[in-house]
Structure 1
Amino acid sequence: MTDWRSVIVGFLVITVLGIVGLTLPGVGQLAAGLIGGFVAGYLAGGGLGSGFWHGLLAGALGGIVGGALLALVVGVAGFAGGPVGGALGGLAGAGIFLGALAISLVMALESAVAGAVGGLLNSGPSEPAGRRY
């Protein structure tokens, strides 16, 4: 079962570190994906498979949301050029979104590997201590 709290926390770590990581292009985003995936996997616990799954979800969510926001900004900015600019901006936005989906796949895989390591380090029960009955 998916622990969405772990996925959201991992996603937020990826987002914040990705923004900070813009100062080191490429390396900053790689580190953000690894650290966020590790956090998601560690918080979810449950071993290798659970950590892999939660890291994968956090990384994919980060890539898709980031790509959608970038595509939206480019598409809306195209409307400043009138109807032709709007059409070109929409096409550019769609192309950027498809490219971002491909990048999110890579980001999800790196986060999944880091999540597997985090889940392995916290291989106890996957339920948080406060939720046990």
Structure 2
Amino acid sequence: MTNWRAVVIGFLVLTVLSIFGIAVPGLGQLTAGLIGGFVAGYLAGGGLTGGAWHGLLAGSLGGIVAGLLLWIGLTIVGTAGGPIGSAIGATGGFVLAIAIVFFSMIVAIECALAGAIGGLLSEN
């Protein structure tokens, strides 16, 4: 059974550290994914498989939310160009959102690995 509390907390940790990862060169996005996945797996427990599942969900949720926000943002910015600009902005935003979701699935794999370690170390 999925522990959504652990997934949401892992997602929030991943998101906050990703924001700081942009500003702090040493932290980076990969570190944020590792820590967020570890937190999700540790809070959920369940050994390797339970931790990996919850880390994967936390990482995937991060990518999907980022992709949707970019798509909405580019669509709104495109409305400044009228109907044609709106269509171009929506199309470009959609393509960018799909690319971000695809690349975030790669990050979700590292979140799953870190989650598996967290689940293994957890006493739940």
TM range (shorter): over 0.9
The yes-or-no answer on 1:17 pairing with 2:25 is no
Unaligned runs of 5+ in 1: 126-133
Aligned residues: CA RMSD: 1.4
Query: Structure 1 vs Structure 2: percent identity of aligned residues?
Result: 58
Paired residue type of 2:5: R
Q: TM-score, normalised by structure 2?
A: 0.94
Question: Which residues in structure 2 correspond to 1:56-95 (within 5 Å)?
Answer: 56-95=56-95
Q: Distance in 2 between matches of 1:11 and 1:117?
A: 17
Unaligned runs of 5+ in 2: none
Query: Deviation above 3 Å: which 4+ runs of structure 1?
Result: 24-27
Q: Distance in 2 between matches of 1:26 and 1:95?
A: 30
User: Could you give the per-residue CA deviations for residues 46-71 of structure 1, whole angstroms, max 9, x where no partner exists?
Assistant: 10000000000000001100111011
Correspondence for 1:107? 107
Q: TM-score, normalised by structure 1?
A: 0.88
Larger radius of gyration: 1
Q: Distance in 1 between matches of 2:88 and 2:27?
A: 31
How many residue pairs get aligned? The number is 124
Correspondence for 2:117? 117
